[in-house]
Structure 1
Amino acid sequence: MAEEEEAVSEAAFSLQNITITDEIKDDYHYEEVSADDDISLHEDDEDLSKALQTVQEQTKDAQVLALQSVLTSGKSVAEIPQAMDDFFCNFLVRLGMSRTLDCFQTEWYELIERGLITVEDAGLVPDVYTRNQQLETENLSLKKDLEAYKQSVTKTEEALQKMQRERDFHRMHHNRVVQEKNRLISDMKRLKAHYASYEPVLKQLSEKYQNSLTQKMLTSLERDKAMGQVTGLQAALESLESGYTKQIPETKVGHDCTRKKRFEGPTQKALREARQQKFLVASSSCDADEDAEKKMGRRDLKDSEFPVDAEGAPDLEQAKEHPQPLKPGQYQLSSILKVHDFAVGCLALHPRKKIVLSGGDDRLWKTWGFPDGNILLTGEGHTDYLSGCCFRPSGTQLVTSSGDTTVRLWDLSRRGCILTLRGHCRAVRACCWHSCGDFVASASADGTSKIWDVNSERCRYTLRGHEDSVNSIEFLPFSSTVLTSSADKTLSLWDVRTGLRVYTFQGHVHPCNHATFNKKGAERPHVDNLPDKHGVLGDTIASCDSSGVMKLWDMRKLLPILSIDAGPHPANQVSFHRSGGLVALASSEGSVKVLCLAVGQLSILRGPGVEVRCVRFHSQEHLLSAGADGRVCVWTWAQ
């Protein structure tokens, strides 16, 4: 370390030594001072303050030299940059400017002593080679940037050209599409005009076809009736000729729905053969499990016979009361019954007693007395909400459907589930019991409906055809026809004897939530031992959709009769009064809307204000509505 300090001090001293040649001449005269005099001067005049100042100056010079050695470490002497003051001193020495040199040194060191300038502020004089290297480095960097900019410009030009080509292609394609669209519009206008010219002819032909079909049906019925009378007369004549009286069997309408043997006319025979042919074609198109259900040769011995439309009897309890048109008045809220803890999803009436069945989101079904609301029975077993319920016509059993994809049969005397029907792959939305008590129908969110045989405990048919969830299902009383409503905005009529769709009603623009038949005419009389197929029973269908629109359909003409917009809130269920003159609608806005068909007036019944899930007419003068709060409102007709 001492050697380094000596080298630094020598370097500093060599920088301060200035040799003045004899060639330099100025007006200043130098006096020679002997070494002895200098030493004696220092020895005589030296004091403590000057000694301290000298030490400080040497310390600062050592720091400056140390800084220069750090900056120039690792480099040769030729590569060490010069300090700013050395550069000026050497420059002035080379030019022989001695007086300027003296002035510069005087001012320079005076500023340093005062602290107005430091060595760090002065810096170093860059070497020409170092500067050239810096400039070359900058030059290379600028060249690289220039190359990068050139590449970016090239890529941008290529992308622009590609986008221009794509723009031209899409513009050409757009022009072609516009031309095709204009051509299609002109073709559609031409076809509409052409169709409009044929529409009167088609309408006339359709009317002629309907008239001829009706005439043919009447003729066939009269012929069958005449042939039946001829057969009866022949049998009576044979009995008289044989010497004894033979009683001719008389066909009467009974409560059972089994098929009875009777004379079959040519028309009925042709219809039967056509149905069998249609049945065979449908069976061949079904999958393996459905083939096992539908093939006649593999029927179960316990299978029930499907009912015939011409047979069947009205419900005995309904026949006791003859529904009459209600006198002018309106429904008023008489009581509110707390039945379930959660929303009530379905209501059903006992066929003979004043008992009401309800199912709710609490996974329970309950039977309770009307009008007091006392709970009689409670059933549990479903693992999800109850969506539908219905009593068996005998009143001893009931069926329920649930969101757990099952349909369950319950025996009221055993107070338990006696049969669980599984086959749907999604939630079951509704269920109903046929008037003969041998069949149960179910509708599911998987887009299918099923006809279950209670006696053989299996699915007889799966009704496929709807494109979305089937939300309701109902049998036409005393017939083999079933009605379904679906979220695909249609209603469908099905023949349960073949499992085929007979007709589809189209007219709703929103998903259908419920559909039902009117019950008027359940006590229709007998006419010539042949019930009237075209009587009042089930001649009208009421349906509702998710936008609150309610529609009435003519069952015989298969045409819409009336459309009422009771929205915009969804309509959940519709119900006919037994007189057929009133239709009740359960609305999600928290009200029940009643339509009087005689005057076309729609009245609104407001209760607790919660969503109304289901509605049902009870007896002649009462109306039941159940809501999302688990309560049932009882409405009474007041004149």
Structure 2
Amino acid sequence: MASQQGVPTSPLRVLEEALGMNLTAAGETADAVAAEGAYYLEQVTITEASEDDYEYEEIADDNFSIPEGEEDLAKAIQIVQEQATDTQILEEKTVLPSNNLAPEVIEDFLCNFLIKMGMTRTLDCFQSEWYELIQKGVTELKDFGNVPDVYTQNMLLESDIKNLKKDLKHYKQAADKAREDLLKTQKERDFHRMHHKRIVQEKNKLINDLKGLKLHYASYEPTIRVLHEKHHALLKQKMLTSLQRDKAVEQISRHSATSRHMEPQQSYHSPEIRVVPSCEKENTPEGPPQKGLHEAKEQNKSKTKIKNNTKDSEFPTDMKSNPNLYLCKENNCPAKLDYKLNNIFRLHELPVSCIVVHPCKDILVSCGEDHLWKVVGLPRGNVLLTGFGHTDWLSNCCLHPSGNKLATSSGDTTVKLWDLSKGNCILTFEGHYHAVWSCAWHSSGDFVASSSLDTTSKIWDVNSERCRCTLYGHKDSVNSIEFFPCSNTLLTSSADKSLSVWDARTGKCEQSLYGHMHSINDATFTPRGHIIASCDSCGVTKLWDFRKLLPIVSIDVGPSPGNEVNFDSSGRVLAQASGNGVIHLLDLKSGQIHKLVGHENEAHTVVFSRDGENLFSGGSDGTVRMWS
């Protein structure tokens, strides 16, 4: 049937299978025909008696036939296309479609197959006849379908395999690096374990040493306790001796004055000869003789004024000779606790740091962080005077015992004295290296004390305009300073959690009080001076017995810090300005605590009026609130 067609040989396996031919036999026939110049297909039947032992698989295809002649080529192509369509339908049911790849056309598939198999002669025959048909127009390319792009998919799979091999290599490198990091981490872990064990051993050793030191220290505690008791007894004896000495000096002074009046011509120098040596013996460790100066003032006041302009002032030994302004604060009026907010004075643009009440007039002075201090009339709160001069925030202010002068401390490291009648600065003290937190007048009005962030306190002589003494001893910022009423004793509170009592004449620390666990922000005396109140940065307020120098009671109103404490004129009620804006009032007799709520923000300062009827507090919002 193949010889009758006269169609050139095609190596397509589909056609071979359709014709039921053996590739080997077809190849031999094609070679023989090619020698004669023509190509024909012959059917060769291989019997079972053949010497070739190879078993061929027969593929039946009864529906495939190729028409004879060139005219029937279109029909043959149509049949092939139909069979290809059927094959494609069958493949779609069983084979997964390719990933959106354009399959090859039939001629490309055939050419690729022949090239891959090395069948060059068959390829040349196929191409010559194929392109001849295309030129004649017998065959149209658009009528032919496509064959599955198996080879392209194989190439893609090979490319994927290469990429996967690259990824595998990369993962192997990452695994090797991770293995190295793991080994390094294990080594570091072992090192830190050994270091931790060593630290634990050292810690245990230190704990054992600490226990031994505690036991060793415990053996010293009885001795230290005995020494402390002796120390307190000696301090008490020293204080009593000082009081007796002052009384003796006062009696001698009165006796000398009486003798002068009785014998003005004869006994003028004799008392001086008898009294001065005794005074010099007593006052030698404390400072220059004071008795001679006191008598010199009485002899010639004009000469004394001239000397005061050129010499330092002397600390008075007989405080009763000075105006007793501080003791007049003590009165017998009943304690008042039921205060209510009466008025709000908006005086400063920045927080109010301090408020003081005039000892005689119905006015108060407030200073703030806006570099200003103001004199305010009561009860309306009208501003009478404003002071300018400091270049930084004001921390504290204090009125002269007579009430006509004002001392202010500032963050610009200076202390300034002001004349309240004119409002101008009359004197500036410079000497601190950091901000000055507090200032206080001496009862005589000749000295001003200041405390600073530079851990020191200073005593300034108003007449000689210089620093008379610097108090060293605190290890941290000195936050407040105050004179004991009508005496030469100073009280300081510090951020090193201690209170210190100083002798202003010698500049020596007489006693330190410990008990606070946090920075002490403020400390003050009662009007009588027998009790000290202090508050710290965690809201703990402590009361101390100044005569025994021992703590009395501790009140915790924290955790907000206590910024300032002040007693009323009766010495029975203690007010504390708290960081949460609450004013705490403590009744010392009953132990009750009352709260005044009115500040929106932090309360910085609190002070009572002279009669105790009103209470004034300043806050961080720049306002002063009056409670009645």
Unpaired runs of at least 5, structure 1: 1-14, 30-40, 54-62, 69-81, 103-108, 252-259, 277-299, 521-537
> Scaled by the length of structure 2, what TM-score is found?
0.65
Amino acid at match of 1:85: L
306 and 151 in structure 1: CA distance in 2 versus 1, 3 angstrom threshold: farther
* Partner of residue 183 from structure 1, selected from 189, 205, 208: 208
114 and 185 in structure 1: CA distance in 2 versus 1, 3 angstrom threshold: farther
Asked whether 1:169 is paired with 2:194, we answer yes
Q: How does 1:328-339 map to 2 (within 5 A)?
A: 330-333=337-340, 335-339=342-346
Asked whether 1:363 is paired with 2:371, we answer yes
Amino acid at match of 1:573: E
Amino acid at match of 1:184: D
* Partner of residue 324 from structure 1, selected from 324, 328, 331: 331
- Residue 542 of structure 1 contacts residue 553 of structure 1 at CA under 8 Å; is this kept in 2? yes
* Partner of residue 575 from structure 2, selected from 578, 584, 609: 584
SS at match of 1:83: helix
Asked whether 1:447 is paired with 2:455, we answer yes
User: How far did 1:334 drift?
Assistant: 6.9
449 and 228 in structure 1: CA distance in 2 versus 1, 3 angstrom threshold: closer
- Residue 376 of structure 2 contacts residue 383 of structure 2 at CA under 8 Å; is this kept in 1? yes
Match of residue 84 from structure 1: 113
* Partner of residue 269 from structure 1, selected from 267, 281, 292: 281
Whole-angstrom CA distance in 2 between matches of 1:416 and 1:483: 29
Whole-angstrom CA distance in 1 between matches of 2:260 and 2:320: 32
Unpaired runs of at least 5, structure 2: 1-10, 13-26, 35-39, 45-68, 79-103, 130-137, 289-307
> Scaled by the length of structure 1, what TM-score is found?
0.64
Match of residue 624 from structure 2: 632
- Residue 398 of structure 2 contacts residue 440 of structure 2 at CA under 8 Å; is this kept in 1? yes
631 and 262 in structure 1: CA distance in 2 versus 1, 3 angstrom threshold: farther
Q: How does 1:466-505 map to 2 (within 5 A)?
A: 466-505=474-513
SS at match of 1:622: coil
Whole-angstrom CA distance in 2 between matches of 1:117 and 1:169: 74
Amino acid at match of 2:284: R
User: How far did 1:112 drift?
Assistant: 7.8
Whole-angstrom CA distance in 2 between matches of 1:274 and 1:365: 37
Whole-angstrom CA distance in 2 between matches of 1:173 and 1:332: 63
User: How far did 1:544 drift?
Assistant: 0.9
Match of residue 411 from structure 1: 419
- Residue 492 of structure 2 contacts residue 501 of structure 2 at CA under 8 Å; is this kept in 1? yes
SS at match of 1:330: coil
User: How far did 1:399 drift?
Assistant: 1.7
Render the CA deviation track for 1:194-225: whole Å, top value 9, x for unaligned. 35xx52x6545654565567568767987998
* Partner of residue 609 from structure 2, selected from 596, 618, 623: 618
- Residue 524 of structure 2 contacts residue 566 of structure 2 at CA under 8 Å; is this kept in 1? yes
Render the CA deviation track for 1:157-207: whole Å, top value 9, x for unaligned. 762663365145325404422541452354256336535xx52x6545654
- Residue 472 of structure 1 contacts residue 484 of structure 1 at CA under 8 Å; is this kept in 2? yes
The RMSD of aligned alpha carbons is 5.4
Match of residue 405 from structure 2: 397
- Residue 335 of structure 2 contacts residue 573 of structure 2 at CA under 8 Å; is this kept in 1? no
* Partner of residue 432 from structure 1, selected from 433, 440, 444: 440
Whole-angstrom CA distance in 1 between matches of 2:316 and 2:368: 35
Q: How does 1:211-360 map to 2 (within 5 A)?
A: 211=233, 246=267, 262-265=275-278, 269=281, 272-273=284-285, 302-308=310-316, 310-311=318-319, 313=321, 315-317=323-325, 321=328, 323-327=330-334, 330-333=337-340, 335-342=342-349, 343-360=351-368
179 and 139 in structure 1: CA distance in 2 versus 1, 3 angstrom threshold: same
SS at match of 1:594: strand
Render the CA deviation track for 1:297-323: whole Å, top value 9, x for unaligned. xxx98452341455464535556x573
- Residue 348 of structure 1 contacts residue 358 of structure 1 at CA under 8 Å; is this kept in 2? yes
- Residue 586 of structure 1 contacts residue 625 of structure 1 at CA under 8 Å; is this kept in 2? no
- Residue 517 of structure 1 contacts residue 539 of structure 1 at CA under 8 Å; is this kept in 2? yes
User: How far did 1:630 drift?
Assistant: 3.8
Whole-angstrom CA distance in 2 between matches of 1:348 and 1:158: 73
383 and 261 in structure 1: CA distance in 2 versus 1, 3 angstrom threshold: farther
* Partner of residue 379 from structure 1, selected from 380, 387, 392: 387
* Identity value in percent: 38
326 and 477 in structure 1: CA distance in 2 versus 1, 3 angstrom threshold: closer
- Residue 239 of structure 1 contacts residue 246 of structure 1 at CA under 8 Å; is this kept in 2? no
SS at match of 2:574: strand
User: How far did 1:150 drift?
Assistant: 9.5
Whole-angstrom CA distance in 2 between matches of 1:393 and 1:362: 26
